[in-house]
Structure 1
Amino acid sequence: MKKKLLLIASFLLMLSSCSSDDNSSNPEEQLIFPKTISYIYPNSPQDNYKNIMTYDGNKIISMDRGNSIIKFVYEGNFIVKQLSFNVDSQGKETKRGERTYSYTNSKLSNITRRVNFSEAYPNGEDFLKFDFTHNADGTISYVAFMLSSTDIDYTGTLIYKDKNLIKRDIDVVSIPDYGHEISIYEYDTKNNPLKNIVGFDLILQEIVGYGSNNIVKMTRTIKDNPPVDVIKSNYLYNENNYPTKNNDIADVNYIYTRDIEYTY
């Protein structure tokens, strides 16, 4: 059960925007993309790593962190697959995961995740599927379930404002005692480093740190109890109002600090 929750949490950490509109009317601004994103953990430097980004125009090709790489597959301006690989010291890639995205009327309709690729399972094993409904009031609701079962695992609702996710409400159906989990997000008014990458605005919650602006505070509660997580972020910006550095500090149930550095 703990493993299941960790996998769910891993997915839910992936943040978000929900519009296919351009994020800026300035053509020159569309040319700004991060070349590298470095993650620095002062209390555990062995966990430090750097993502090197490659692009084809304004489409992202890959995020390479040395011992692993994520690759993206497009059809037109839509990302249809996200593929993850482990990379050994000889540069050999071994596939470890796949996410497939489907769209209806240019909006995300479902995600299928497959894991555990191996000789025994060359096509991987089906794991989770997410079905999304774009509601008339602008909210997005979804259900998640294990593909090996017809039972719903959990349901959720996403609320956006100014192309940023401001609230996520989750009901973990498969664990009744867990109850509702609510995350609230607050933002600055500056540019998110990933905002100009085509397709990221459609694949809800899938890319860590994605939005139109930058999260300055995240508060998570469960069952209307006091917050279980509070993460605050402090940024330094360049002349184009894109962050060059971000310091994340978490408290409440645990102490956590992380620096993120960007180059363009």
Structure 2
Amino acid sequence: MKKHLCYCCTIIFLSLFSCTTEEYAASENRILPKVLKTIYPDNPSGNFETTIFYDENRIVKVSNKFEKIDYSYNGNFISSEVKYNIINGEEVKYSETFYEYENESLKTVSTIMNGERTRFVYSKNDDGSVNMETYIFDTETKKESKNPGLSVLTFNNGNLINLVSNWGYNDVITCSRFQYDGQHNAFKNVLGFKLLLGQNIFGSEVNISSPNNLTRHTDSPIVSGNIVFEPCANTMTYEYNKKGYPTRQTIYDYTGRIINITEYIY
């Protein structure tokens, strides 16, 4: 009888533990930023709010007084992104982006911006880095040509840490380095974002597809023949909630001046 009772208690405990774990995971997956408040300390009149809409963990729409972005999915993969400028209350489409995948990895990104077409093709290297080739479509000849340059993206634990771009013209090479904290990126639970490999989602958030938060972004000197330009760097600091998600981000330029502040509401 005692053995039977002990066995029953063990089953009940394991069941409760399993439910608790599943409920916790489900609760974590529901942590999604709903509103972003952008604050400019030097220009309060420029402050604005961005609202984000979801269908469960799929992002549907991003909207503020300047712009609207619509997203579409194919299963669990983001398939397209359409951007509109808000002009005198009217939506004016200016950009479309289409994403294609192979073996659950990003393969091709095609953009149409103000009538100009660009295609980015991704391929993995043996060391885990990723090459990104660029193709330009000529609207007059109706032909696509490959840019002679190449960008190489290096990742660590899912975070983009290095981006070296040889633009293929006039010996111009740029090198960007990225550092991160150990906390949760506000957008880590958005389905499909982690596959977008450093694409500039929302136009400016370089690290939005990374699992952690960007703390420093440095652009090394741009080399063009014998000309070397001054490097630049931005630093980010954060405040977090109890679960390790950011509630406030402050961005500083290389002089220590605050560029802007973002507050996250979940």
* TM, length-normalised to structure 2: 0.79
Q: Is the 8 A contact 2:222 2:231 kept in 1?
A: no
Contact 1:31 1:58 in 2 (8 A): yes
Q: 1:126 is matched with which residue?
A: 116
Greater displacement, 181-190 / 223-232: 223-232
Displacement of 1:190 in angstroms is: 0.5
Partner of 2:153: 158
Residue 252 of structure 2 is matched in structure 1 by: 249
Inter-partner Cα distance in structure 1 for 2:67 and 2:130: 32
Alignment of 1:1-264 (within 5 A): 26-90=25-89, 92-116=90-114, 125-148=115-138, 149-152=144-147, 154-176=149-171, 178=172, 180-206=173-199, 207=201, 208=205, 209-210=207-208, 211-223=210-222, 228-251=231-254, 257-264=259-266
Unaligned runs of 5+ in 1: 1-24, 117-124
In the alignment, structure 2 segments of 5+ residues that lack a partner are 1-23, 139-143
Q: In structure 2, the residue corresponding to 1:150 is in which secondary structure?
A: strand
Letter of the 2:37 counterpart: S
Counterpart of 1:120 in structure 2 is: none
- Amino-acid identity (%): 26
Judge conservation of contact 1:219–1:227 (CA < 8 Å) in 2: no
Deviates more, 1:36-45 or 1:154-163: 36-45
Task: Confirm or deny: 8 A CA contact 1:34 1:53 kept in the other structure.
Answer: yes
Q: CA deviation at 1:255?
A: 5.2
Task: State the number of aligned residues.
Answer: 228
Deviations 1:147-171 (A, max 9, x none): 2251406310111111111111111
Query: How much has 1:87 moved relative to structure 2?
Result: 2.9
| Superposition deviation, residue 141 in structure 1 | 0.5
Q: What is the rounded CA distance, in whole Å, between the counterparts of 1:113 and 1:212 in structure 2? A: 25
Q: What amino acid is the match of 1:163?
A: G
SS at match of 1:201: helix
SS at 1:27's partner residue? Answer: helix
Secondary structure at the aligned position of 2:193 is classed as coil
- Separation of aligned partners in 2, 1:84 and 1:247: 26
Cα distance between partner residues in 2 of 1:223 and 1:236: 33
Query: Alpha-carbon deviation of 1:131?
Result: 0.8
Aligned AA (2:176): S
Shift of 1:175: 3.5
**Greater relative CO, 1 or 2 (CA 8 Å, sep 6+):** 1
Q: 1:35 to 1:143 in 2, by over 3 A?
A: same
Task: Report how far residue 226 of structure 1 moved.
Answer: 7.9
Check conservation: 2:52, 2:61, Cα contact below 8 A: yes
